[in-house]
Amino acid sequence: MKAAIFNPYLDTLGGGERYTLTFARVLVGAGYSVDLEWKDEGIKKTLEQRFGMNFDGINIIPDIKKGDGYDLCFWVSDGSIPIMHARRNILHFQVPFRGVKGKSLMNKMKLIRINKIVCNSGFTKNIIDKEFGVDSVVLYPPVDTKSFKSKRKENIILYVGRFSKILQGKGQETLVSAFKDLFDKGFQEWKLVLAGGTEVGAGNFVEELKELAEKYPVEIIESPDFITLKNLYGNAKIFWSASGFGQNENETPEKMEHFGITVVEAMSAGAIPIIFNGGGHREIVEDSVNGLMWESPGELVSKTADLIKNTKEYRLLELNAKKKAEEYSLFSFENEVLSSILQK
């Protein structure tokens, strides 16, 4: 059996790309020969280093011809509906596109050839179903929960997400400002670590963050490899996220956090998530049960300060966070793909 995969964002090396490649690995395990479209074969080594994954059985080729001649084609949409020619076609939305004329006659004709539409969260599904007039399936992103373990915890607040303002800003500037406030309130034994890719769309953003954080214990780690990320998660006590803050999820849902893979990775390693109450975040964290949610920077600071002072609450949230993270394990993802997504 032959499968073709297309993802136009492959070089951004983000969570959506890990999703695509894990799907490819499941196909390889199911006996498929997998071709992944990309012009530069060198991307394979880059992906392996970033994600700590082995991609044996996945071939990089310049053109999959929209799935022509393949038994299955998995295609990540850029907001458009492609013409797909495989025997079985799966279209994946990792962005909740809105206002793209989804119900046009041309799109309706293209959708006839598509067997299943898959979204990465209920948040994305809700937007996509309304925009395109479809009934998509939610397949939550896979997280290698077994790779992320608690280590000797340090007074570290961590955020992991690309340094880019293309399409979706991750809000690192909000986190830096909030940390300065926390530090000035007396929590001077803590430090903030921001880690993420700079390959696409970073521009001068990292330098701007460094200037904003000047004289405060803020560490910026650009394009960390997988081993570095595992250590960061393992050592961090708290995980912050401001992704989606300042956006209107009804008007610009694409600028919200569509799910939050790094949140789950942090939870697996026992870092307590304190994340913005919006978008896909709500499907991961239940406030005061397995993490904390905030709606203003002041609330982020106050909830963090209260948690630091409350060891009993920290231990309870840590236990529940680890338990919740297992719902998004590689095992769960593989089972869902094999039992549901690949079935007619």
Q: What is the pLDDT of residue 197?
A: 86
User: Are 181 and 309 in the same domain?
Assistant: yes
| Band of residue 202 on the pLDDT scale cut at 50, 70, 90 | low
Q: Which domain holds residue 120?
A: 2-142+329-341
* Nearest of 167, 161, 155, 172 to residue 262 by alpha carbon: 161
Same domain, 167 and 203: yes
192 shares its domain with 135: no
Concatenating the DSSP letter of every residue in 174-225 gives: HHHHHHHHHHHTT-TT-EEEEEE--SSS-TTHHHHHHHHTTTS-EEEEES--
The answer on 165 and 21 residing in a single domain is: no
Considering only residues 176 and 170, tell me which one the structure prediction assigns the higher pLDDT. 176
Confidence of residue 14 (pLDDT cuts 50, 70, 90): confident
| pLDDT digits 0-9 by tens, 218-248 | 999 999 988 999 999 999 999 999 999 999 9
261's enclosing H/E stretch is helix 261-268
Please check whether residues 299 and 333 belong to one and the same domain. Answer: no
For 335, residues 6+ apart whose C-beta sits below 8 A from its C-beta are: none
Pull the structure tokens for residue 330: 């590689």
Same domain, 314 and 182: yes
Residue type, 249: E
pLDDT at 15 over 90: no
Q: Is 149 helix (H, G, I), strand (E, B) or coil?
A: coil
Would you state the structure tokens that stand for residue 100, as one six-digit string?
């793209």
Statement to judge: residues 171 and 129 lie in one domain: no
- pLDDT tens digits for 311-325? 999 999 999 999 999
Q: What percent of the chain has pLDDT over 90?
A: 86
Q: Which of 145-159, 244-258, 302-316 has the lowest mean pLDDT?
A: 244-258
pLDDT at position 344: 65
Residues 14 and 155 placed together within one structural domain of the fold: no
185 and 300: one domain? Answer: yes
Same domain flag for 33 and 44: yes
Residues near 75 by Cβ (< 8 Å), separated by ≥ 6? 5, 6, 67, 82, 84, 89, 90, 91, 92
- Determine the average pLDDT of the residues in 109-114: 97
CA angle 26, 28, 30 (to 5 degrees): 70
Regarding predicted confidence, which is higher, 66 or 12? 66
Task: Report the C-alpha gap between 180 and 299 in whole angstroms.
Answer: 14
Residue-wise pLDDT tens digits, 39-88: 999 999 999 888 888 889 999 999 999 999 999 999 999 999 999 999 99
Please check the confidence at residue 203 and state whether its pLDDT lies above 80.
no
User: 329: which DSSP letter?
Assistant: B
CATH number of the structural domain spanning residue 173: 3.40.50.2000
Please name every residue paired with 14 in a beta bridge, in sequence order, or none if there are none: none
Is there a single domain that holds both residue 117 and residue 189? no
What would the mean pLDDT of 98-122 be, rounded to a whole number?
A: 96
Residue-wise pLDDT tens digits, 178-201: 999 999 999 999 999 999 988 766
Q: 283 to each of 106, 121, 328, how far by Cα in Å?
A: 33, 8, 11
Mean pLDDT within 242-268: 93
**How many domains is the chain partitioned into structurally?**
2
Same structural domain for residues 130 and 151? Answer: no
pLDDT beyond 80 at 167: no
